[in-house]
Amino acid sequence: MKSERYHITFRYFDELNAGELSTVLDLTEKFANQFPIRCQTNMYSGFPSSQRARVIIVPLVLEEFSLPSELRTKKPFVPHVTVGYARQGRVTVPQHPVQSSFILEKPVLVHSEKGTYTLVREKVANSNCVTKNS
């Protein structure tokens, strides 16, 4: 995966209609007051598990950050940076240390479709279609 396509996923959304998308965009802008935030990494992992991964990630340890309750779900979710994908089936991701930290300046809502990322604010301005977001 090219580094310019790295992104941090705080929450994955399935299909959203225009009204739901507008609400999520508003919530994203409201919790922006928690930023900048310090992010730390400890190891590589994968989804759905490190033993049978389709997606290779670096889970994040976020200091003094909490996702707003309106954006939380009952489903457990780990904020992460996606760093790659298993091209042929599932892979085992070694649990090697990845010690790093960085500052995340601000949140943005991004639409992901077939490997192309678009800022949602731009997408909303151009259409009112149903979208899939990450």
Angle, CA of 120, 71 and 13, to the nearest 5° = 50
Q: What is the pLDDT of residue 28?
A: 80
CA dist., res. 39 & res. 59, Å (int): 10
Low-confidence stretches of the chain (pLDDT < 70) are 1-7, 14-15, 63-68, 71, 121-134
Q: What is the pLDDT of residue 54?
A: 92
Q: What is the pLDDT of residue 127?
A: 44
Q: What is the pLDDT of residue 133?
A: 40
Q: What is the pLDDT of residue 5?
A: 66
Q: What is the pLDDT of residue 128?
A: 42
Contact 65, 32 (CB under 8 A): no
Domain limits for position 97: 3-133
Q: Is the pTM of this model over 0.85?
A: no
Which residue has tokens 């009204």? 19
- List strands edge to edge, sheet with 13-16: 13-16, 131-133, 110-113, 116-119
Q: What is the pLDDT of residue 59?
A: 86
Number of domains in the chain: 1
CATH number assigned to the domain comprising residue 9: 3.90.1140
Q: What is the pLDDT of residue 2?
A: 67
CA dist., res. 17 & res. 50, Å (int): 33
Q: What is the pLDDT of residue 3?
A: 62
